[in-house]
Structure 1
Amino acid sequence: MAKRYIHCRLSEHGIVGAKLCLVVFLPPDSEERGSHIFVPGHQLCVVILHLPPLFQFSAMKPTISLSLATLGTILAHAQYPSALPDVAPAAAKLPADSTDAEVSLLEPETVQVTDEVIANLVDSNETAEYADLFAFADSTISTPAARKRDLLRRSSSCKTAPGDILWPSDLVWGIFDLLTGNALDDIVPLGSVCYPESEFENYDKAKCEEVMASWSKDALHYNDPGSAMFPIYSGMTCLPKANATASDTCTLGGYSKLSLEVRSVAQIQLAVNFARTLNLRLIIRNTGHDYNGRSIGKGALSLWTHNLKDIIYIKNYKDSYYSGPVFHVGAGVQGFELLQAGEKYGVSVTTGICPTVGIAGGYITGGGHSPLMQLFGMGADQVVSMNVVTASGRFITVTPKLNSDLYWAMLGGGGGTFGIVTSVVMKVHPKIPVTASVFNFTTSPTVSDVTFWKGVRAFWDEMPKYNAAKTYSFFQMMNMANVGVPGGGYAFNMVPFFATNKTVDEFNALTKPFFDTLKSLGIPYQIETKYYDSVYPAFQATFAPQDQAIGSTSGTPGNRMLPSKNWEEETLSNQTFDAIKHTVDNTIVTLMYHQMSQNPSQIINSVNPAFRTEGGMVVAVNGVNDLSPRGLADAGEKMTNVIMKPLRDATPNGGTYGNEADISEPGWQQSFWGTNYDRLVSIKKKWDPTGLFYVYRGVGSEGWVVEDGDRGVQTQDGKLCRV
């Protein structure tokens, strides 16, 4: 981070600073008490020592009143250089077996903050006055400063933002940086290099061209500590563009303020305690794959867990819940890395269809559907143990037996809500073969719209059989007129049909009735089918190359899970299929899956119950052409009340996958969690009583709102305040 520190500090009086302060011009009724001044009505003692040059106003008379807001502004904006104390990182190195888990700690987890570490901060002359900022929630440290800060935190209706009285001075940020081993950095939007007049003063034409060329590639964003893959929710600030002028806007917007690059549990613990004590907004960011902007937040301290990359194979894991092979996986491991490890050790692993999504982030905590779910269950079903930093700052293990309520809640209850995952222990499965097939068909001069939909209906009618055969598919449907193709028409594109544990002959036999129907309808199709002896090469050939629309402002998603029973009764099946046709006609692309989870014999997590009974899922992508507040509001209205409503009407017992949801999903508590929601709220209150963790439309988020003004869509570009 930029190393600029403030000499002006008031920590002994509840303001986040330290020994030196400002000369303050006080009202006539102020009463001097030794080296302190007491200002009636403010309940604040101010040590008078000197005034930094920035604020020397010798002509001013001592009749200028001082308010806490004024003082906070001075503290927040004064930049008076000072040498930092000599402070070493605050951490202890523990043995790898210092755990209640059945597996040893990963290397980053052996570096922790303990009670002894906090005691050392208290005892050190250099850090004593800051120690309570980093203490655990159950700490017995009690100082006048700590009590006043706690009072300010409790009385605040909003999370602390830059300029607020509890916002740390640059000096205090600097000490936090030292205690975390210089892991703190300012967040700078990637596209800022394109703006000659931005507040970041980093214009670079060559770098701008590089950013523009890579903007739609997810690696650019997940390798950056603060970027948002879907910029509508950052307030669309600093979008890369050629020939930006002084009138073009590039500010921090809804991006987080600072990022902590996490490489140890100790860093997470210090950040959690610091944020809780000072009422800071805290963001947990792994790769940044989030369609609703939940990995950013204006004014926030962001914890970047992307670099926790350990993968350890354990062949003979055993506890009271599960016996068999597992991977012990760091929180930053991505899908493609886990798949590569599975290939190396000759096993199969469960991941999402996007290979760069972090496994231990929103994927497993949101439930996690997968091309292997029909064999092994949801992503969350794979987890036998997790290591977690809680809102108290404590590092714990959660399993079906240890802290079992938190285990239940975190596996399905959503990311960024209950705690910060540092690693997971996941089941792995025998190596399996896959036959993967890609095929497509379209309207044409010889294939009418009506005939096309008869072909799609033929696939729809076969989906229960495909689910029963333990297969999976992901396909796209488009009304070509909606994407500007002259003459319009329709297209069906199977991304792949993922026939797990099937030979090519078995796949052909399974799908023969469907393809025979296409032939009888006179619908020509192109098909390519290939057998793979394991999951990884099949995945790489089919799912991996898909465009994830990264960096785009041209569309927003919504989804609906379709219960298996919607195929069982003809009238309901017809209603559902008509709703899908309606969706295709009103979107730029409609994505669909045939999928059915192999549910465990005992459900011990909070995965949306709708996943347990589904036979398929629809993801609608609505086009956004007008990025004005009115245009965004109209697009949102269309998504919620035009596109998705027929699907909701046809699936009253269905649900919605929170990770790919309409940002304005009505009745989201029921849609995302069903009957699990009330228990999730109760567990949230138990483990996070001060509301440290917040994500938009997360469990317990009803009590908060981001005050972003009239944007037409909920962004993260505003203060986070209580409702």
Structure 2
Amino acid sequence: MSTRSVLAGSAILVAIAAILARDRVFFPAYPECRTIPGDAAWPDISAWTKLNDTVGGKLIATVPIAAPCHKILNGAPNSLYDEEQCAVLRDHWHFPETHLSSPSSPMSYLFSNNTCNPWSDPDTPCTTGTDAVYVINATEVSDIQEGVRFATENNIRLVVRNTGHDYLGKSTGAHSLSIWTHKLKSIELLGQYSSSEYTGPAIKMGAGVESLEAYKFAASHDLVVAGGNCPTVAMAGGFIQGGGHGPLASKYGLAADTVLEMEVVTPTGQYVTASARENADLFWALRGGGGGGTFGIVTSATVKAFPDTYGSTASMMVANTGDNADALYSAIGGFIQKALPGLVDAGAFVVWIAAPFGFMVSPAVAPGLTSAELDKLMQPMVDILKEAGLEYQYSSAQHKNFLASFEFYSQGTSWNVSDYNVGGRLIARALALERTDELVEAVRHISTTAFMSGVSYNVAHGVASPGDVAAHPYFRKTLFGLALGTPVNYTDWSATLAGQERITHDLIPALERLTPGGGAAYLNEANFEQGDFQRTLYGDHYGRLLEIKRKYDPESIMYARTAVGSEEWKERGDGGLCRTQ
């Protein structure tokens, strides 16, 4: 071969490399399992140092959040051991801010690093365990692209973490590289967004913008957006990608229904806009079709903004005294039949709780209604309680705007999810109204020993057709979602696991028996051990979602528990991730 031919060939290779670098497309050849520390193929320290340089020093070597509570860290004496600091950590463990500021600590304790438990004996060795090995603190799109490239080229498990609000263990993973999007906090008003689908005000927010931050920004412009009921849930992350219900759901639909476009780094490293006009299939899938870490890494979402208005809130409490249980659960049935439909149809969002202590409405949120109008909607339940001779407490208040109502009922509330293992089920209106006695029997079975929350809304008209977004079609006929929990025991891991098994094999089946061969669960509040998750979490949309997954993620870079395509992978006992087919 002539020198000229060699040079020509080299030029072609350089040109191809330039194109691939420009479009960030990677073509790996994967073995059966992801590489983990100790494997010969695991990158050496120089490779990680180079990655750190590439992302401008934003690579973080994970130190478990509870490391100060242990004398041994990863097999060596721990210089971070500090009894006073450990005591402070325990005191603040249940507050979201403790975990929000951590690049690796999930709020759901079942997926936390139990080898590094802040309540275990100080002599218990602490290891990285289920935490990511390294985290990229992403503040630029290029940081995410470099993380995707590195994970792809080195066959390393890739995890996406935002705030850590996550019941299903999607935002953490052993032996992984994590992309932390929490610092993507940009937010701007688009005064007159215009497309063939919508014309009006919109707000574009970075992936790290939390619900309360979005509410405050919108309020400053006399607007509202459909966000979460928990103030520290980041909207553009797993919340919207799982569907997203919240206090404005009965008025404007799921958060996924209000999205106009999203910016996303795909698993091949491309940075694209997904909307009804560009990458429409990806746009459809990102709105409720898999949750965070499924189809790509969302960097921003542009959502509809609506005119702000006054509103009202209400709360109610009925104690279970031990001798009034029959009357109490009968009253709950009356509440479901005679009060809830009218409340949600009037635009209210109602959270009610059944637990060993009794029954609560906490809160009912009614945008655009006066307190007198809300009182009238709550009156059927008041009448039921009076007729049954049940003592109760009830109060309502009116607020000048949505933000004022949200801050009123959320003040002083701990929103951390660490204290409970969680599972859930959506309850259709027809089921609730036609088979009330059977439903109440199941509610009683669960709530006499566990915590149960009924999150009630009407999102039937959030979209023109249930197929317009990827969220489970069952949402459109749902009256409420039941989220249930068993308590975490921080000093007895086996008891915590037993509580989760009780959810899987006793509590959730009590609800599943009401919908044999059907029914659904909310992706963001489901049981991570949910059997037949494809049907239960995605319904008839699953086949199309899997096609889109394979199109945008042909090498299955993105894996998360119960996410689309996750059945193609299995987590080993040592945390390794391997293909099943």
TM-score (norm 2): 0.92
CA contact (8 A) 2:233 2:239 kept: yes
Residue in 2 aligned with 1:518?
Answer: 385
Verify: 1:349 aligned to 2:225, yes or no: yes
Verify: 1:316 aligned to 2:192, yes or no: yes
Residue in 2 aligned with 1:593?
Answer: 455
Secondary structure of the structure 2 residue equivalent to 1:237:
helix
Verify: 1:223 aligned to 2:101, yes or no: yes
Deviation at 1:584, TM superposition (A): 0.9
Deviation at 1:630, TM superposition (A): 5.8
CA contact (8 A) 1:336 1:356 kept: yes
> Paired residue for 1:168, among 43, 50, 54?
43
Q: d(CA) in 1 for partners of 2:110 and 2:46?
A: 34
- Larger CA deviation: 618-627 vs 415-424: 618-627
245 and 629 in structure 1: CA distance in 2 versus 1, 3 angstrom threshold: closer
495 and 568 in structure 1: CA distance in 2 versus 1, 3 angstrom threshold: closer
Report the residue type matching 1:202 in the other structure. Answer: L
Verify: 1:685 aligned to 2:550, yes or no: yes
CA contact (8 A) 1:354 1:544 kept: no
Where do 1:212-611 residues align within 5 Å?
A: 212-241=90-119, 244-246=121-123, 248-413=124-289, 414-444=291-321, 448-462=324-338, 463-480=340-357, 491-552=358-419, 555-569=420-434, 572-587=435-450, 589-597=451-459, 598-602=461-465, 603-611=467-475
Report the residue type matching 1:224 in the other structure. Answer: S
CA contact (8 A) 2:318 2:393 kept: yes
CA contact (8 A) 1:704 1:721 kept: yes
> Paired residue for 2:508, among 644, 651, 667?
644
- Could you give the per-residue CA deviations for residues 623-661 of structure 1, whole angstroms, max 9, x where no partner exists? 455977764554333212211112112134421012111
- Could you give the per-residue CA deviations for residues 303-345 of structure 1, whole angstroms, max 9, x where no partner exists? 1110110110111110122111000101110011001111111
Deviation at 1:407, TM superposition (A): 0.5
- Structure of larger gyration radius: 1
Deviation at 1:249, TM superposition (A): 2.8
Q: d(CA) in 2 for partners of 1:297 and 1:266?
A: 23
Deviation at 1:168, TM superposition (A): 1.4
Q: d(CA) in 2 for partners of 1:383 and 1:206?
A: 46
CA contact (8 A) 2:119 2:490 kept: no
Deviation at 1:365, TM superposition (A): 0.2
Residue in 1 aligned with 2:9?
Answer: none
Q: d(CA) in 2 for partners of 1:362 and 1:239?
A: 26
Residue in 2 aligned with 1:101?
Answer: none
CA contact (8 A) 1:495 1:543 kept: no
Deviation at 1:542, TM superposition (A): 1.1
273 and 322 in structure 1: CA distance in 2 versus 1, 3 angstrom threshold: same
Report the residue type matching 2:503 in the other structure. Answer: M
Q: d(CA) in 1 for partners of 2:286 and 2:280?
A: 10
Residue in 2 aligned with 1:143?
Answer: none
- Could you give the per-residue CA deviations for residues 545-603 of structure 1, whole angstroms, max 9, x where no partner exists? 33334443xx311111001111342xx2221221111121241x111122111322244
Identity of aligned residues (%): 30
CA contact (8 A) 2:310 2:402 kept: yes
CA contact (8 A) 1:439 1:526 kept: yes
Q: d(CA) in 1 for partners of 2:572 and 2:480?
A: 37
Deviation at 1:454, TM superposition (A): 2.5
Q: d(CA) in 1 for partners of 2:474 and 2:154?
A: 39
CA contact (8 A) 1:256 1:299 kept: yes
CA contact (8 A) 1:593 1:616 kept: yes
Q: d(CA) in 1 for partners of 2:458 and 2:218?
A: 23
Structure 2: gaps (5+ residues): 1-12
Secondary structure of the structure 2 residue equivalent to 1:362:
helix
Q: d(CA) in 2 for partners of 1:508 and 1:619?
A: 26
Q: d(CA) in 1 for partners of 2:100 and 2:411?
A: 16
Higher relative CO (CA 8 A, sep ≥ 6), structure 1 or 2? 2
Secondary structure of the structure 2 residue equivalent to 1:175:
helix
Secondary structure of the structure 2 residue equivalent to 1:212:
helix
Verify: 1:612 aligned to 2:476, yes or no: yes
Q: What do you get for the CA RMSD once the two structures are aligned?
A: 2.3
Residue in 2 aligned with 1:21?
Answer: none
> Paired residue for 2:84, among 188, 195, 206?
206
Report the residue type matching 2:151 in the other structure. Answer: A
326 and 549 in structure 1: CA distance in 2 versus 1, 3 angstrom threshold: closer
Report the residue type matching 2:527 in the other structure. Answer: D
Q: d(CA) in 2 for partners of 1:576 and 1:210?
A: 43
CA contact (8 A) 1:557 1:621 kept: yes
CA contact (8 A) 1:217 1:550 kept: no
- Could you give the per-residue CA deviations for residues 170-203 of structure 1, whole angstroms, max 9, x where no partner exists? 1111111111111101111111011122235311
> Paired residue for 2:519, among 651, 654, 657?
654
Where do 1:38-187 residues align within 5 Å?
A: 138=25, 150=28, 153-154=29-30, 156-187=31-62
Report the residue type matching 2:356 in the other structure. Answer: N
119 and 410 in structure 1: CA distance in 2 versus 1, 3 angstrom threshold: farther
Q: d(CA) in 2 for partners of 1:196 and 1:626?
A: 19
307 and 574 in structure 1: CA distance in 2 versus 1, 3 angstrom threshold: same
CA contact (8 A) 1:215 1:550 kept: no
Deviation at 1:163, TM superposition (A): 2.1
Deviation at 1:358, TM superposition (A): 0.6
Structure 1: gaps (5+ residues): 1-117, 124-130, 140-145, 481-490, 710-717
Report the residue type matching 1:519 in the other structure. Answer: K
CA contact (8 A) 1:342 1:348 kept: yes
Report the residue type matching 2:388 in the other structure. Answer: L
Q: d(CA) in 2 for partners of 1:160 and 1:217?
A: 34
- Larger CA deviation: 471-480 vs 690-699: 471-480
Q: d(CA) in 1 for partners of 2:220 and 2:72?
A: 50
**After TM superposition, which residue ranges in structure 1, 4 or more long, deviate above 6 angstroms?**
118-123, 626-629
Q: d(CA) in 1 for partners of 2:389 and 2:438?
A: 26
- Larger CA deviation: 506-515 vs 358-367: 506-515
Secondary structure of the structure 1 residue equivalent to 2:391:
coil
Q: d(CA) in 2 for partners of 1:167 and 1:645?
A: 42
CA contact (8 A) 2:115 2:125 kept: yes
Report the residue type matching 1:422 in the other structure. Answer: T
Residue in 1 aligned with 2:541?
Answer: 676
TM-score (norm 1): 0.74
Report the residue type matching 2:234 in the other structure. Answer: G
Q: d(CA) in 2 for partners of 1:568 and 1:135?
A: 57
Report the residue type matching 1:465 in the other structure. Answer: G
CA contact (8 A) 1:433 1:501 kept: yes
Report the residue type matching 1:161 in the other structure. Answer: I
Q: d(CA) in 2 for partners of 1:138 and 1:450?
A: 63
